[in-house]
């Protein structure tokens, strides 16, 4: 056949636009009417979108869906509902319930009571009437008992003496030292009120002090130097010594707290001053054993 001739059966010539299927089985269209063969399982895209039957991806910043039977979240600023049958928590500073043990100061549970003379036992029982008073009183009682312990718990001892002693002290001594029945103070008064129990008490107490202590005019209180000559205060153990000072402070406290006084600072100052002196005497190591 001459080169470039046509076939006798009217077939297409070499170099025509149509392309026969290759080994892959795909035949590309050469004209608008031609079909395209695709591999099995091929799924065309629709308008450039995702494949058919594929769910769209969730939008950004969208929380995952809640599982079934999950209650919706509470709106903001909404307090959570209270638990059923749950009692509210107790408020702060709630007082102890009845029956709860309250710590007892060492002054009221001394372990050396077996060594005490009878007079000291009776006095301690009376002082314990102030167990609910401010702790200043318990600290003073404990300091006084330490002083008596250092002196060997004598029953007798030198008389404390002093000037301007409140008359109630004499009545107490001559009346048989009735610790179960403290004398009623007729005129309690205050410091600077002449003739009152409180003013007499401070005048008596000052007369017993070491010479190094001075009275502060603005307050009527006394200074407490670091170094002092304790003198006779080192010997004031037993029933006639510091025990009488303790008795006068106990009577004073009974009057203050029996009447529900709102201001007990005068009594507290006196208690603190006596405690300071007892502490100084003990620290000096000069307590005389009777």
Backbone angles phi, psi at 212, to 5 degrees: -70, -20
More confident site: 57 or 276: 276
C-beta separation of 139 from 192 below 8 A: no
Instruction: With CA atoms as reference, report the closest residue to 249 among 176, 140, 161.
Output: 140
Quickly state the pLDDT bin for 14 (edges 50, 70, 90). Answer: very low
Q: Please, which residues bridge with residue 222 across strands? A: 215
Ranges of H-type helices in the chain: 118-127, 135-150, 167-174, 197-207, 242-258, 265-284
DSSP designation for 57:
P
C-beta separation of 136 from 173 below 8 A: no
Average pLDDT over residues 33-55: 54
Backbone angles phi, psi at 140, to 5 degrees: -65, -45
Whether the predicted pLDDT of 61 surpasses 90: no
Share of the chain above pLDDT 90, in %: 56
Dihedral through CA 85, CA 90, CA 96, CA 97, nearest 10? -20
103: Cβ contacts below 8 Å, ≥ 6 apart: none
Ranges of H-type helices in 194-241: 197-207
Each residue of 80-122: pLDDT tens digit?
555 555 554 444 443 444 444 556 899 999 999 999 999 999 9
- Give the separation between CA 184 and CA 118, rounded to whole angstroms: 24
C-beta separation of 215 from 206 below 8 A: yes
């Amino acid at each position: 056949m001459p080169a470039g001739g046509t076939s006798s059966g009217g077939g297409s010539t070499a170099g025509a636009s149509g392309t026969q299927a290759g080994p892959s089985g795909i035949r590309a269209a050469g004209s608008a009417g031609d079909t395209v063969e695709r591999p099995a399982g091929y799924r065309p895209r629709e308008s450039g979108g995702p494949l058919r039957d594929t769910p769209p991806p969730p939008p950004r910043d969208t929380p995952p869906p809640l599982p079934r039977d999950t209650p919706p979240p509470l709106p903001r600023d909404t307090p959570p509902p209270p638990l059923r049958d749950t009692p509210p928590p107790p408020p702060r500073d709630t007082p102890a319930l009845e029956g709860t043990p309250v710590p007892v100061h060492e002054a009221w549970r001394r372990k050396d009571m077996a060594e005490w003379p009878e007079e000291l036992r009776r006095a301690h029982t009376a002082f314990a009437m102030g167990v609910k008073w401010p702790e200043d009183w318990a600290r003073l009682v404990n300091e006084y008992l330490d002083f008596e312990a250092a002196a060997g718990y004598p029953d007798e001892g030198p008389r404390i003496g002093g000037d301007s002693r409140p008359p109630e002290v004499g009545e107490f001594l001559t009346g048989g030292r009735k610790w179960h029945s403290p004398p009623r103070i007729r005129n309690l008064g205050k410091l600077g009120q002449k003739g009152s129990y409180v003013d007499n008490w401070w005048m008596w107490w000052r007369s017993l002090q070491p010479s190094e202590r001075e009275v502060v005019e603005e307050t009527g209180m006394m200074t407490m130097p670091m170094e002092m000559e304790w003198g006779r205060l080192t010997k004031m153990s037993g029933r006639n010594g510091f025990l009488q000072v303790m008795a006068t402070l106990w009577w004073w406290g009974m009057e203050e707290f029996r009447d529900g006084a709102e201001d007990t600072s005068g009594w507290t100052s006196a208690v603190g001053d006596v405690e300071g002196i007892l502490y100084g005497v003990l620290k000096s190591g000069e307590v005389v054993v009777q």
